[in-house]
Structure 1
C-alpha cells in the first residue's frame, strides 16, 4: 500500500494508545484514529477508510467480540489485529473465526508490531516529518505518567488474562473476564465490600495470604454457583472423604496462584502463598476496624461461560507493598 496509511487504535487503555502512537511516530504518512470502546470504533470505521485496526477484546460499552460480529460496516478492506490480555486459546480461535487477521497478546513489543504489520503486507516509510494525528476526543483524559494506579491496572489486566488462560486450559471452559479494578480503599469501604461478598447466601468465602519481594497481602475469594463441584472435577480436584470444602479451597488456590504467577513474571518477584482457608462471618467481622490506613486493592472476577460457577477475587496489600509497586511502575515509565 503506497497511499497514506490510516490506523484505528480501539482500546480503553490510554497506555496502549500512547505505546502504539509512539510506534507509528517513527513513520511518515500515517494517520491515527482513537477509540475507547467498540461503539466508537464502529462509528469510526463507518466514516473513514481504515487500513489497520488494533482491537482490544475487553472494553466497556461494546467489547472486541461485539465489534468483530458487526463487521464489516463499509466496503473498505480493513485489516484487524486483535490486541488482548485474554490469551485463552478459545478466545484466539473465536477472534480468527470472526474474521480477525491476527492475534497479538499483551504485553507486546515494537518488534512484534513490526513483524505483524509486515505479515499483513502493510509497508511503512521511515519518517522525515511528524506523524499525522486525527482528533482524539479523549486526549485530555490521558492520565499522568505518575498515576501508578492507572498503569498497574494494565499490568493486572495482563495477569488476569494469563490466569484465565491457565484455568481455561485446565478445565476446557471459556472464562469471561471483565477489566480488573485497581484502587486504594479505606477501612470502611473494604469492610462493606467484604461484608457484601460474605453475606451472599450462595457464596463461599476463602482467604489466602501471600508474600514476595516486600509485598504482603491477603486474597479473598468468593465462589458461588451450582456447578462448583463439577468445575472442580474438570480441574482435577475431587472431594476427599466427602469434604466439599477441599474442592472449594483447591479452586480458590488456583484462582489466586494463576494470577500471582503472571504478576510474578511481569514484576520479577517470586511470590509464596499460604494454605487457603474457608472463612465464617465471625472470622472477618470487624477485621478492618484495626486498619488505620488505606489498602492497595485489586478486584476482579472470573465466570465460566457454560457452567453455573463464578468467583470474585479481592487482593488487599499493605502500605509497604504500595511503595514496592510504585517503584516497579517507575521502571516502566
Structure 2
C-alpha cells in the first residue's frame, strides 16, 4: 500500500537530500512543502501520513506545525529533521508529539533505522524475492542554487555551534534562518546601516583560509548582553572593564570555531584560522567592519543572529567570503546543485 510522505523544509537542498535518502523499496507518494503553512495544509489534505519536518522555517516553524497538528488532532506521524541538535530541542519536539529526531545532514541508514523501529517500513525477508523498487518523485525537478545550498550548509553549522554553546552554558539558544546573499560591499554596508538600532556593539574578527576559499568571520556582541553572558560564564566580576573582552573572546572561540568546522566538514575541506582580533567596542555595526571589507568588490555574506532564551543576550555572526572564493564554493557544492 502506498504511503503518503511529506517533506517539509524551506531548503530545496534539504528536500532533495531527504528524498534521495529514503529507502528505495519503500512504496511512497512524495509531496513537498517549503514552509510550515504549506506543510500544515498538505497534512490537512491527506498528503502527510508520514512527515519529515524541519524546525527553522519562515511563515510557520516546525514547533508551530507540531502544535497545530497536536491541537487539531491531525492524522500525521511526524519525524523532525533538523540541524538544531540541542538536547532541549529534542525534548521540546518530543513533548509536541514528534516520534523521533533525525540530525542533518541526513543519512539513509538513520532514516531506515527509525522507519523499521516504528514499524513504518517492513524489514526485508530472505525467503522473498526482492521486489523492484517503485520509482520515487524525480528529484531532478528540485532545483538548488548556490544561495540555497550555502544557507543549508550554514543552517547545519549554526546548529552545531549553538549546541556547543548550549552545553557550556546550560541554556537554550534560539536559532534563526541564516541570511545568505552575494553582495557588492557597498550593498553590505547599506544593509548593516538599515538594521542598526540604538544599540551599539563590540566586535572581533578572525580570518580563515582553505584551498581556494578565504574570508573573515566577525562576531558582533550587542551592548546590554555582556553582563548576563558574564554571569552565565561564571566570571567573578561581571562589571570589571576587562570582562567584556573576556566574554567577547570566549564567545567568539565557541561560535566562530564551531561554525567554521561545521561548514568546512560539509565541504570536505581542511581550513586554518588566524588569531582573533578585537575590531572595536561600543560602535555602530557598519563602522566596526568597514575597514575589513573596503578592499573587496563582492562578497558571499552569511549572517546569523544568535539569541539565548530568557536572557538579554544577542550577538551576530557574520561570515564574509571573498569574491575569489565563490567559484570554489560553487564547485564544492556542485554535486548538490544539479
> TM-score, normalization: structure 2?
0.84
The RMSD of aligned alpha carbons is 2.9
Please state if 1:296 is matched with 2:307. Answer: no
* Partner-residue secondary structure (3-state), 1:279: strand
Q: Tell me, what secondary structure is at the counterpart of 2:70?
A: coil
Q: How does 1:163-182 map to 2 (within 5 A)?
A: 163-182=161-180
Q: How many Å separate the matches in 2 of 1:238 and 1:209?
A: 31
Secondary structure of the 1:271 match is strand
Distance 1:289 1:24 in 2: 46
Residue 166 of structure 1 and its aligned partner are, at CA, apart by: 0.7
CA contact under 8 A between 1:49 and 1:76: conserved in structure 2? no
- Deviations 1:39-81, CA, capped at 9 Å, x for gaps: 2222222221633110100000110011111223666642211
Which residue does 1:110 correspond to in 2? 108
- Given that 1:156 and 1:263 are in contact with CA atoms closer than 8 Å, whether structure 2 keeps it comes out as yes
The CA distance in 1 between the partners of 2:71 and 2:132, in whole Å, is: 31
What does residue 125 of structure 2 align with? none
Contact 1:232 1:251 (C-alpha < 8 Å) held by counterparts: no
Q: Distance in 2 between matches of 1:263 and 1:126?
A: 39
The change in CA–CA distance for 1:286 and 1:149 in structure 2 (over 3 A counts) is same
The answer to whether the Cα contact below 8 Å between 1:26 and 1:127 also exists between their aligned partners in 2 is no
Aligned match of 1:130: 135
Q: How high is the TM-score relative to the length of structure 1?
A: 0.85
Task: Give the equivalent residue in structure 2 for 1:257.
Answer: 257
User: What does 1:158-307 align with in structure 2 at a 5 Å threshold?
Assistant: 158-195=156-193, 200-224=198-222, 226-236=224-234, 242-246=241-245, 247-267=247-267, 268-279=269-280, 284-285=289-290, 288-291=293-296, 293-307=297-311
Match of 1:101 in 2: 99
Q: What is the CA deviation profile of residues 183-207 of structure 1, one whole-angstrom value per residue up to 9, with x for unaligned ones?
A: 2110211222344567743322333
Partner of 1:318: 322
Larger displacement relative to structure 2 (29-38 or 197-206):
197-206
Does the aligned pair in 2 maintain the 1:83–1:103 contact within 8 Å? yes
* CA shift in 2, pair 1:131/1:185, >3 Å: closer
Alignment partners' CA distance in 2, 1:53 and 1:235:
39
Give the secondary structure class of the aligned counterpart of 1:320: helix
Stretches of structure 1 lacking an aligned partner (at least 5 in a row): none
Does structure 1 retain, via aligned residues, the 8 Å contact 2:21–2:106? Answer: no
Q: How many residues were matched structurally?
A: 323
Q: What displacement does 1:36 show?
A: 1.3
Counterpart CA distance in 2 for 1:309 and 1:64 is 24
Tell me the residue number matched to 2:81.
83
